[in-house]
Amino acid sequence: MNRPDHNDANPLVGIIMGSTSDWETMEHASNILTGLKVPHETRIVSAHRTPDLLFEYAATAEQRGLEVIIAGAGGAAHLPGMTASKTVLPVLGVPVESKVLKGLDSLLSIAQMPGGIPVGTLAIGRAGAINAALLAAAILGAKHPDIREALRKFRVEQTDRVLAQPDPSVSAVAIPMKNLQKGKRQ
């Protein structure tokens, strides 16, 4: 497994997360940004375990050239909201799936911000991490035409992939004939 210490020169997006255990989820955001050629960095920054680091990261993000922050956290997930409270950059929150409450705790902690400090909240888990990266690219696309075009290409390719496989009963993986006959539709 790759470690969360991705470092592009002049990153536009900062992906932060509360714990190394969040990387399994948040690496999907990093992978999407890499695919779109969006320079980014990944860091462990915990609202509860390293609060001073969180304040410093959020307070200096804008002057370091970051334009969007993606923050993933699980459980009592204060990281996205506290980050948003210390910067005017857009903050996108990814609720990491917690063991006990399956991420519902994370989702509510991130989504239920008081009026005045917004956090754009995505879905729980992998889908949320992927969509946070795509939404970050959409935000950056307003200023960076290359990123807008990369996002457009991603969407076209995604559509083409779906249209190229219209029959869900046909799989690229070879399925034994008896299974095919059993599951055959009229």
Contact positions vs ligand RP5 (CB under 6 A): 17-19, 21-22, 46, 48, 73-75, 96
Neighbours of 165 (CB within 10 A): 11
120-121 β-sheet, strand order: 40-44, 13-17, 68-74, 91-96, 120-121
Fill in the DSSP letter of residue 78.
Answer: -
Nearer to ligand RP5, 6 or 12 (CB): 6
Least distance to ligand RP5, CB of residue 129, Å: 12
Helices 23-35, 126-141: axis angle to 10 degrees equals 30
Alpha carbons within 13 A on the beta-carbon side of 88 = 1
Nearer to ligand RP5, 74 or 120 (CB): 74
Neighbours of 24 (CB within 10 A): 15
Residue 25 to residue 170: CA distance in whole angstroms = 29
Cβ–Cβ under 8 Å, residues 113 and 146: no
Nearer to ligand RP5, 52 or 167 (CB): 52
Nearer to ligand RP5, 4 or 75 (CB): 75
Cα maximum dimension of the chain? 63
Nearer to ligand RP5, 22 or 67 (CB): 22
Least distance to ligand RP5, CB of residue 103, Å: 9
Least distance to ligand RP5, CB of residue 140, Å: 25
Least distance to ligand RP5, CB of residue 20, Å: 7
